[in-house]
Structure 1
Amino acid sequence: MASRIYDGPVVDAHQHFWEPDRNPHPWLRPEARIPFRYGNYDAIKRRYLPDDYRRDAGPHRIAASVYVETEWDPADPIGETAYASGLAARHGLPGAIVAQAWLDRADAADVLARQAAFPLVRSVRHKPGGPARPEEAGRSRTLMSDPAWRAGFARLARHGLRFDLQTPWWNLDEAVELARDFPGTTIILNHAGLPAARDPASLAGWRAAMARLAGCPNVAVKVSGLGQPGQAWTPESNGPVVRAVIELFGAERAMFGSNFPVDSLCATLPEILGGMKAIAAPLPPAEQEAFFAGTARRVYALAPAG
C-alpha cells in the first residue's frame, strides 16, 4: 500500500492556553526562571488564546483539543478550571480539560469532587517528581509510591476521572505498578515518557520501559513534547520515537499532542503536525485517523465531530 498523508481533522490531545498578565502562573512571571527542558522560555511568557492557536495551526484542521493544566497557582486549582471552561464557552476550544489536583493534599477529596463537577473535566494531572536522571532511578521513589498520594489517586475512579501522568521513562516501572493496582483508572502518559536523550543507550532504555508499560491495558500515550533544544523538528529526528510508541501501544492507545505553545520554542505547529503526518503516512488510513483524532476522542470522551 502506498503511503498517504493524513488530511482529516485533528484532535490535539495536549495543549495549553494562558494569560500570564492577568492569571496566576508563578512560572510565567517576567522574572521567573525555572529549570526548563527547552532552556530559556521567555518567548512563551505571553498571552496564548484559541485565536492564536488556530492561527498557528495554519492549513491543518483542528477539530477539538484537550486543555492540560498549566501550573496555575496551586492554591486555586478550581480557578483554572473555571477559566478554561470560560474559554470553551466563548471560543469552542478546548473540548476537554485536564485539571489540576494535588493528590497528596488534605483537601484532595474535595478538590477532585469540585473538579469532576465541571462538564469538560475528564482527567487530572499531578506531576509525581522523583529521580531526575536515569542513574538515580531505584535510589528514590516518586509520589506514585507514596501512600497519601495513592489514596488520592484511588478517589479518581469514583468520579470517573482519568489521570494524566508526566514522568520520565526511568520512573515508568512505578507507573506499571500503579496501573496494575488501579486497573479501573485510565492513565495517559504525557510526552511519550520524555525521551529527551536520543543516543542509542538512552533510546534502548526508554523503549524497554515503554514496552513494560504497554503491557498495562489501561494506559494510553500522548506523542507530544518531542522537541529538542537547538535542533529542528524533523521526521528523521523524531520518527523512531513516534513509530516505537505506535508499534508498542497500537494506534488505538496512541494520540497526537502539540504541547503548544510550549513546543513553539522548538518548531512551528505546521512543522510539528506536518512532520507527524509524514511519519504516520505508511500506516493504514484507519490507524492514522485513530492517532490524529479517534483515540483522543475516545479516551477523553470528547463530543462527536459535528
Structure 2
Amino acid sequence: MQVVDPHIHLWDLKTHHYPWLANPQTSFVGDARELKHDYLIGDFLRDAEGIEVLKTVHVDANHDPADPVEETRWLQSIADGEGRGMPNGIVAYADLSSDRAEAVLEAHASFASTRGIRQILNTHPKPLYDYVGRHYMREPQWRKNFALLRRHAMSFDLQLYPSQMDDAAALAREHHDTQFIVNHAGMFVDRSSVQGYRAWRDGMRALAACANVAVKVSGLAMFDHAWTIESLRPYVLEIIDTFGSERVMFASNFPVDRLFASYAALWKAYASIVDDASDVEKEALFMRNAERIYRI
C-alpha cells in the first residue's frame, strides 16, 4: 500500500523542549506518559514498515512556544539530511495573537519545506476537553495577523471542535484565497448526544461549503480508544460524502495514535472502509490530495 501521510509528529527530548512532554498527563486523548521518549524519523519509518510511505507532512508537535522557529529549523535539517526529503512539508506553530507573529511567520517562511501554520484553537466548556481557554478567532489582533498567511502563501491547519465551526467557516469565507485543512476529522468530542452529533455534522457541512477548506481523516482513535473498522466507518463515509473525495486526506497522527493502533492497522482500516471506491478516488484519498493541498 502506498500512502502520503499528511499528519505526523517528531520530537527529540534530548535537544528540544516540549512542555506537554516535560510533565505528561493522562487526558481524553490517552496517556501522554507513554509518549515521553524521543520519536525521530527512524522511529517513524520503523513503525511504518509494511506501508510504503512516499511523503510526509509534519505538524507542529507543541514545541516550546517561546521558540517555535527552532522546531522548523530542526525539521528542515532532518529533511535535508537523514530524512532524505522527509518531512516533505512542515506545518509550523505561530501564535497569531502575538505582537511577534509577523516576524515568526517570516522566519518560518525562510525554510524550504514550510507550507503552513497550525495554532490549536480548541476551546470547550468542560475542562477535560479545553486546550486554550479563549476564542482566538474572535480576537481582533489574531484575525489581523491571520491575514499575513496569504503573504507567505501559507495554509492553516484548523484544529477545533464542532462548536467553533461556524466561526471557522466565516473565517474561511473572509480569507477565500487561504487554504484551510481541518485536523482530526473535526474532533467530534461530544459523542454521547444527538445534539453533539448534529453539531459536528452541520459544522462540517458549513466548512465544506467553503471551497478552500479540506479535511484530514486522522485522530479518530483519540476519541475511540477501542475502535474497530465498523466504529470508524460512519465518520469516514460522512466526511467523504460531505467534502467529496477531492478534499479529504487520510492521515496517521503518529505517534499519538500509536497508543491505540499500529501504523499498518490504521491504514488498512481506511483501505477497508473505502474498498469499493474507484481507483481514482483511492489515489486521491491516500496520496494525491495531500500532495496537491500541501504542495509536496
Asked if residue 146 in structure 1 is aligned to residue 159 in structure 2, the reply is no
Q: Deviations over 1:238-275 (max 9, x none)?
A: 11111111110011111011000011111111111110
**Which piece of structure 1 moves more, 195-204 or 273-282?**
195-204
Q: Whole-Å Cα distance in 2 between the matches of residues 174 and 89 of structure 1?
A: 38
Question: RMSD of the TM alignment (CA)?
Answer: 1.9
**Structure with more contact order per residue of length (Cα contacts < 8 Å, sep ≥ 6):** 1
Q: Whole-Å Cα distance in 2 between the matches of residues 75 and 160 of structure 1?
A: 24
Q: Whole-Å Cα distance in 2 between the matches of residues 150 and 198 of structure 1?
A: 30
Q: Whole-Å Cα distance in 2 between the matches of residues 164 and 65 of structure 1?
A: 15
CA contact (8 A) 1:131 1:142 kept: no
Question: 1:83, CA displacement in angstroms?
Answer: 0.6
Within 5 Å, give how 1:249-260 maps onto structure 2. Answer: 249-260=243-254
Residue of structure 1 in register with 2:42 after alignment = 51
- The one of 15, 21, 24 aligned to 2:14: 21
**Pairs aligned (count):** 289
- The one of 96, 101, 114 aligned to 1:108: 101
Question: 1:57, CA displacement in angstroms?
Answer: 1.4
Moved segments of 4+, more than 6 Å: none
Q: Whole-Å Cα distance in 1 between the matches of residues 277 and 190 of structure 2?
A: 26
**Would the alpha carbon gap of residues 173 and 121 (structure 1) be closer, same or farther in structure 2, given more than 3 Å must change?**
same
Question: 1:129, CA displacement in angstroms?
Answer: 3.9
Question: 1:42, CA displacement in angstroms?
Answer: 1.1
**Which piece of structure 1 moves more, 10-19 or 140-149?**
140-149
Q: Whole-Å Cα distance in 1 between the matches of residues 223 and 164 of structure 2?
A: 23
CA contact (8 A) 1:19 1:47 kept: yes
TM-score (norm 2): 0.93
Q: Whole-Å Cα distance in 2 between the matches of residues 230 and 215 of structure 1?
A: 27
CA contact (8 A) 1:78 1:115 kept: yes
Question: 1:35, CA displacement in angstroms?
Answer: 6.1
Question: 1:232, CA displacement in angstroms?
Answer: 2.7
CA contact (8 A) 1:21 1:46 kept: no
CA contact (8 A) 2:30 2:222 kept: no
CA contact (8 A) 2:149 2:155 kept: yes
Within 5 Å, give how 1:93-104 maps onto structure 2. Answer: 93-104=86-97
Q: Whole-Å Cα distance in 2 between the matches of residues 141 and 27 of structure 1?
A: 19
Question: 1:84, CA displacement in angstroms?
Answer: 0.6
Within 5 Å, give how 1:1-306 maps onto structure 2. Answer: 7=1, 9-29=2-22, 32-34=23-25, 36-90=27-81, 91-92=83-84, 93-132=86-125, 142-199=135-192, 201=194, 202-228=196-222, 231-302=225-296
Question: 1:128, CA displacement in angstroms?
Answer: 2.3
Q: Whole-Å Cα distance in 2 between the matches of residues 193 and 292 of structure 1?
A: 19
What amino acid maps onto 2:8 in structure 1?
Q
**Which piece of structure 1 moves more, 77-86 or 53-62?**
53-62
**Which piece of structure 1 moves more, 247-256 or 221-230?**
221-230
Q: Whole-Å Cα distance in 1 between the matches of residues 272 and 224 of structure 2?
A: 22
**Would the alpha carbon gap of residues 103 and 227 (structure 1) be closer, same or farther in structure 2, given more than 3 Å must change?**
same
Q: Deviations over 1:103-148 (max 9, x none)?
A: 0100111111111111100000111243345xx9xxx972111110
Q: Whole-Å Cα distance in 1 between the matches of residues 48 and 141 of structure 2?
A: 41
SS at match of 1:75: coil
CA contact (8 A) 1:168 1:194 kept: yes
Q: Whole-Å Cα distance in 2 between the matches of residues 142 and 230 of structure 1?
A: 26
Question: 1:22, CA displacement in angstroms?
Answer: 2.3
**Would the alpha carbon gap of residues 143 and 229 (structure 1) be closer, same or farther in structure 2, given more than 3 Å must change?**
closer
Q: Which runs of 5+ in 2 are unaligned?
A: none
Q: Whole-Å Cα distance in 1 between the matches of residues 256 and 213 of structure 2?
A: 24
TM-score (norm 1): 0.90
What amino acid maps onto 1:118 in structure 2?
F
